[in-house]
Each structure stands twice: as C-alpha cells, then as structure tokens.
Amino acid sequence: MKQRRIGATDLLISETGFGCGGNAGLMVRGEAAEQTRVVAHALERGINYFDNAPDYGDGLAEENLGRALKELSVTPVITTKVEIRSENLADICEHIVRSVENSLRRLQVDAVDILQIHNGPVAQRPAMEGTYYATLWLEDYLKPGGALEGIRRVLKSGKARHAGFICRGNDAAEVGSLLETGLFHLVNLPYTLMNPTAGRFRPKAVPTPDYGNVIDVAQRAGAGIAVFSPLAGGLLTDTLLAGQQTHLLARQKDIGKLETKGDLGRARRFQEIARKSGISLPELAYRFILSDPGVSTLLGGFSSADQIDVAVAASAAGPLDSDQLSAIEEIWRAP
C-alpha cells in the first residue's frame, strides 16, 4: 500500500484508510472475532490509518476498534471526532475536552493522532434540533469558549497531535476561514465520480452540494484531505447496480428510489468505462480519487476483507490514465 503525507504534518498514512462508520456496518454490527480478523487483514495489506467517531454506533465503533487493536498489539494512526449538538452550545470548549476523554477511554489509547470536529462550518446559525450535528455556525468555531479553544486545549494536553474538521458542501468560504487559522491540518469530505466538485473537475451541471474545489484550498493552506464515502454510499459498486445490497452488514439502500432519481443510470455510465478498462467499478472510483495529488487518503467503508483487497489493488494500480479521465469528463459534460 502506497503512503501519502497529510498536508504539512509529519504523518505518513496509507492511500486507503479504514473507515469505521456505520454505513459499512462491520465495526458497529459485526461479530468481535470478525472485526479483529478484518482489522488484522487491513494492517497486513499496509493500511495504517483508521478513522472513527463517537457517533458511529454511539461509541461502539471506537470500543470495537480499541479492543481489536489491543488484541493485535498494534498502534496505527488514529483519527476520531467530536460532535457538537444543541445541548453543547453553551460549553463547546468543555464538551470537546470531555468528548476526547471518553473517546480515548473507548479506544484504549492515551492520545489520537488527529482530532476532528464532525460539524461542517456554515455562515448562518443552523437549527440544531435533537441529535443534529452535521453543521456548526462558524461563529461557534471562532468565539471565546468555542470549538477552536477546545481543540487548542486538547492539543496542548497532548491528547491529540493534530486537528481537522468535516466539510459538508456549499461552505468553501467557511472552510477557507478555518484553514486560515493555521490550526487545522486535515479536512474530511466526499469526492466521487458522482460529485467531483471538491477537486479540479467541475461538471457542466454542478451537483448538489457544491464543494467549491476545497481540495485546492486545503493544499494551499498546508492541509490534507481524507475522502469519505468514496463509493458514494455504495452507489458506485457493481453489486448495487446489479440490484443487490452491497453486504449483509452494510446499511441497506433503497434501490428503487436510486433508480427513480436517475442515480443508478449515471453510475452505470461510469461502470461502462470500468468495463472497457477491464476493472471493477469500485476500482475506477478509487483510482479516480487517488489521481488527485491533493488527496491524502480515501476512507474505505469495509464490511469484509475482500473489499479491502479491492482498495489495495486500486492503490497499487496507480492513477487513471488520460483516456479514462477524458471518458469520465464526457459523462460530466452531458446534460
């Protein structure tokens, strides 16, 4: 597995990271022995980066990863996150400190390599009702006692080495403002064949949301990029396009709704490029992402060891060639 550096940091991580989110299901709904086996397989194949969050199974993914790594006696590069909800707005800084302490306990480590804010920055105050945490008002990042202050406290304590945050789209200006603080060195965002707006490509009909070429913004600020949901939530898989669910552990997809929206038809056009290239659709999707030098890693949502092997093969195969990229751009230029 090839490695890349995270922005201007000293962290070298595998081109494919291990995403522990609930979409793939393994680290939340899998059996303990299978979790340990698949984590061990990932490490054997050269994956040294694990991405987690308290929200993944309400802490279960952190607990399960911590147990598996303890059993295997290994210490890879680990990212975890903090979710800020409505009940935390009055004491964001203290909430971040408490959340990190709880995550470290579940992960069974003294510190993580990267701590990220799981809320994307937005220009207007969002209505944060219930368990909502997708976005956070930029002012709540920057104000006294806000997210930046909490991050600084954690970094000063040595319980995290670096900081980052999530980009949710339509927020390029706010992302730029946070990167200008110099505090953050990693941005998580989606960047796929279905929506490439985070990178150098811009379709004729701009998908929603628009990520505003944030990869370039991050590069100029010395920050790295971790791409989550690289297969567009399973849409860019040959299995789903054949009308089957991606895996028993994975979150189930409404295939009929995807067909009605036209997403499956568009994905099939990319599948045809993969077929002509003699590769699978997931390999095409992975290699498209890794063709961008601004990407530090893509976060595979793995339900099984076999899926890890596909990502490893994509890393070994290298970037797509000019003919493949031109064919992809033709799809984007279509109405």
**Per-residue model confidence as pLDDT tens digits over 143-184:** 999 999 999 999 999 999 999 999 999 999 999 999 999 999
pLDDT(200) > 80:
no
The beta strand positions in 168-325, using DSSP E, are: 186-189, 224-227, 297-301
Give the pLDDT confidence score for residue 22 in this predicted structure.
86
Query: CB under 8 Å to 250, separation ≥6 — which residues?
Result: 23, 24, 25, 234, 301, 303
64 three-state secondary structure? helix
**Per-residue model confidence as pLDDT tens digits over 264-287:** 999 999 999 999 999 999 999 999
Q: How many helices (H) does the chain have, and how many strands (E)? A: 14, 12
**Per-residue model confidence as pLDDT tens digits over 89-145:** 999 999 999 999 999 999 999 999 999 999 999 999 999 988 889 999 999 999 999
Average pLDDT for residues 31-60, to the nearest whole number? Answer: 97
pLDDT(206) > 80:
no
DSSP one-letter code for 109 = -
Average pLDDT for residues 298-316, to the nearest whole number? Answer: 96
Q: What is the pTM of this model?
A: 0.96
Please give the CATH topology (third level) of the domain spanning 3-232+292-321: TIM Barrel (3.20.20)
Is the bond preceding residue 209 a cis peptide, omega within 30 degrees?
Answer: yes
The beta strand positions in the chain, using DSSP E, are: 3-5, 12-14, 16-19, 49-51, 77-82, 112-117, 120-122, 135-137, 160-166, 186-189, 224-227, 297-301
Domain spans of the chain, in order of start: 3-232+292-321
Residue 251's pLDDT band (cuts 50, 70, 90): confident
What is the Cα–Cα distance from 20 to 80, expressed in whole angstroms?
10
Task: Provide the token pair at 75.
Answer: 């210490």
Task: Provide the token pair at 322.
Answer: 């000019």
Highest mean pLDDT among 20-29, 74-83, 235-244, 251-260: 74-83
What is the Cα–Cα distance from 163 to 177, expressed in whole angstroms?
15
Amino acid at 83: E
Residue 252's pLDDT band (cuts 50, 70, 90): confident
Question: How many Å separate Cα 235 from the centre of its chain?
Answer: 16
166 three-state secondary structure? strand
Closest CA to 303 of 311, 294, 295, 313: 311
pLDDT(335) > 80:
no
